[in-house]
Structure formats: structure tokens, C-alpha cells
Structure 1
Amino acid sequence: MTATWVGSSASVVVWRSPFAPSSVPPPPATVATSRSSSSTDEVTLLEVGRIDKPHGVRGDVVVSLITTETSRVAVGSVLQAGDRELVVVASRPHQHRFVVTFEGVYGREGAEAIAGRVLRAEPFDDDDPEDLWVHHLIGSAVIEPDGTERGRVESVQDNPASDLLVLDTGALVPLRFLVERDSLGRLVVDVPAGLFELLDDD
């Protein structure tokens, strides 16, 4: 199966912000889990952004997204900020970021209380089963075409030339070398000869 990417090219993954300056890369995308109050099943939560600071005196905050899905801050969106669930009641673009009003956050003090928190949300339902999203990559085994195992993906790091798979072995693998996800869910990478050997020699 050939992997396709949700984005403008094969080297773009879904958490890169289209508004962020190219010289200031966002942090690696991460995942977390939360237990549903109505079920014992764990729900995977994806890191989608961060509350940077208060904006004004009415309770608005400035939010930076690490996803191209700007609908994450659309009215009605539900985001998790630590132990607090936040519902978006208004948002607008602001200097490569967004000014967001959350339900129940009032005044400067209320905004300061949530400043600095990481925002997480449940994954979207995938329309195309062949699309790969960051949460598909995290934890996946990485192998070469001959079956040689090279580790597991810990995060995906933004990089101007090609986003990078950060492996638990310390290896950094450009996403442009990802050729498919096999039937076992492993990521098959076809890298230049010697790339992994150079790392092993360090």
C-alpha cells in the first residue's frame, strides 16, 4: 500500500502549522491517552496546539496550532488542556496564530490560569484509509525493504527539507524515504545506503 499524506506534498504531515514562520519550527507532535467517562476504553488524544498567553482583559487567549487543521479552533470544538475541557465559542486569526475565546474562561485572571497549557483533541475520523496522520506514525515500527528493523517512531519533527521520523534509537529518518505502511502496520523506509550505519558508528 502506498502511503499518501494529508497536506500539500508527500513531505508535509498534518501537524505543521501553515501560519508558522518557516524559520521557527514547532515542537514534535505527541500523543496522550484519556479514559472516557462512559467507558473503560482509552481514547487517544493528539497534541494540536498550545495556549500561549492572554489577549486583552476579557478572557481571550492566543493559541498556536501545530496542525494544518484550523478547524481545531472552530466554534464548538472541544479541546483538552490538562485536566480541563475547553469549548471554543469564538476564534479569529491573529499574527500567524489565533485569538480564541473558551467557554467559562472570564477576565484576565481566567486567561492567565490556562496560559501555557498544551491543547489536545481526539483524532478525526479518517475519510481515506490510505491517508497517514501523525497519530498513525507514533509508536510504529520502522523497517527497511529487506525487513531489517530500525526502531519505533517516538515523534515527528518539522524540518524545512523533509519532516523527520524521530526513532527511539536516536535515528532521524526523512519522511520522503517512507514508501509504504505494510499489512502489519510497519513503516517501510528506503533510505540511502549507509544512513543507519553512520548513526551506529557514532
Structure 2
Amino acid sequence: MTLLEVGKVDKPHGLRGEVVVTLTTTEKARVAEGARLVAGDREVVVVSSTPHHHRWIVAFDGFSRREDTDAIVGAVLRAESIADTDPDALWVHELVGAEVVEADGTSRGRVEAVQENPASDLLVLDTGALVPLTFVVEHTPAGRVVVDVPAGLFDLLDG
């Protein structure tokens, strides 16, 4: 079973065992009633969730007091991979560590992270470069991302 990161438990919320969760996925179903997640090393089941300032207030089964949440605050939330029928879908776990090359074969570094950005999420490279995902033209789960960027994007780094 493959588990993918879908969010993080940020902090407790109130006194009734609810927590604030930041999703790292666009799949709101991950915090829907009945959703099963893994928080750290334990399985949790969503009882209810409510959107709250770009995050979610979530109640998990078995967590009825603020003290109950201590075990999962700060935990990464993971969930089973769902079958994806879109062959062009980009998954963060496939991008991190991948080599980024331009269409002409010029290597530009490796992806260290994917940074959220309102216009387009960014590939954060180990060279310090930031590449908008809109410029990705090909990717393979084997660890290669081909980008077609505007002239000059890498010039400042090449110095």
C-alpha cells in the first residue's frame, strides 16, 4: 500500500479534541467524514471537518479532549494513493529528487521541494532556481522533469 502525504496537523483547536489541518492536496475528500488517514504512526478517521482560513478544523474519532491531540500535533497526514486516470498529473513525491533538464538536455539541478504559489506552484531546485510548474513539458516517475522555460530564466544563476 502506497501512502501519500496529504496534509499536516498544525495545532489543537479548542477544548473538544479538534485540530487545525493544512492540506497539501487539492482533494478535499481527504478530510471528509469517514476518511481514513495515517497521522504519524496511527490511523485516524475523520468525524467532521470545516474550512477555516485556508485550512481545516478537523475532528477525529477517539479524540474528545484537547489533551488527546498531543499525540498527533505536528504529524504528517498520509492517505492511500487513489487511482489517477490523468496521465499528465504531477505528484509531489515523484517530483522531489527528480533531475530538471531543459528541452535541449541542459541539466538545471534537482528538485528539493514544491512551493505553493498563487499563479503556479514552483519547483525549488538545489541550485536556488525556482521554476513554475507551467513550464513542465514532460515528467517521468523515474526521476526526470523536462522544462521549456522562457529565455533568461536561468541567466541570473549562471552569472
TM range (shorter): 0.7 to 0.9
Q: Could you state the TM-score of these two structures normalised by the residue count of structure 2?
A: 0.82
What 5-or-longer segments of structure 2 have no aligned partner? none
- State how 1:109-120 maps to structure 2 within 5 Å: 109-120=67-78
1:112-131 equivalence runs, <5 A? 112-131=70-89
SS in 2 for 1:125: coil
Cα separation, partners in 2 of 1:52 and 1:182, compared to 1, 3 Å: closer
> Counterparts of 1:1-202 in structure 2 under 5 Å?
43-46=2-5, 48-181=6-139, 186-201=144-159
Higher relative contact order by CA 8 Å / sep ≥ 6: 1 or 2? 1
RMSD (Å), alpha carbons: 2.4
Deviations, residues 54-111 of structure 1 (Å, cap 9, x unaligned): 2332212222223211111112222222222222122223343322121222312102
Note the alpha carbon deviations across 1:144-170, whole angstroms, 9 max, x for none: 111112222221111233321111232
Residue 143 of structure 1 contacts residue 186 of structure 1 at CA under 8 Å; is this kept in 2? yes
- What whole-Å deviation, never above 9, does each CA across 1:104-156 have from its counterpart, x for those lacking one? 22312102442233322233221222322323322222111111122222211
Letter in 2 for 1:187: V
* TM-score where L is the length of structure 1: 0.67
**Deviations, residues 21-40 of structure 1 (Å, cap 9, x unaligned):** xxxxxxxxxxxxxxx6xxxx
Aligned amino acid, residue 54 of structure 2: H
Report the residue type matching 1:198 in the other structure: L
Letter in structure 2 aligned against 1:153: V
1:3-56, Cα deviation, whole Å (9 max, x unpaired): xxxxxxxxxxxxxxxxxxxxxxxxxxxxxxxxx6xxxxxx3532x222233233
Q: How many residues align?
A: 159
Q: Which has the higher strand share?
A: 2
CA contact (8 A) 1:182 1:188 kept: no
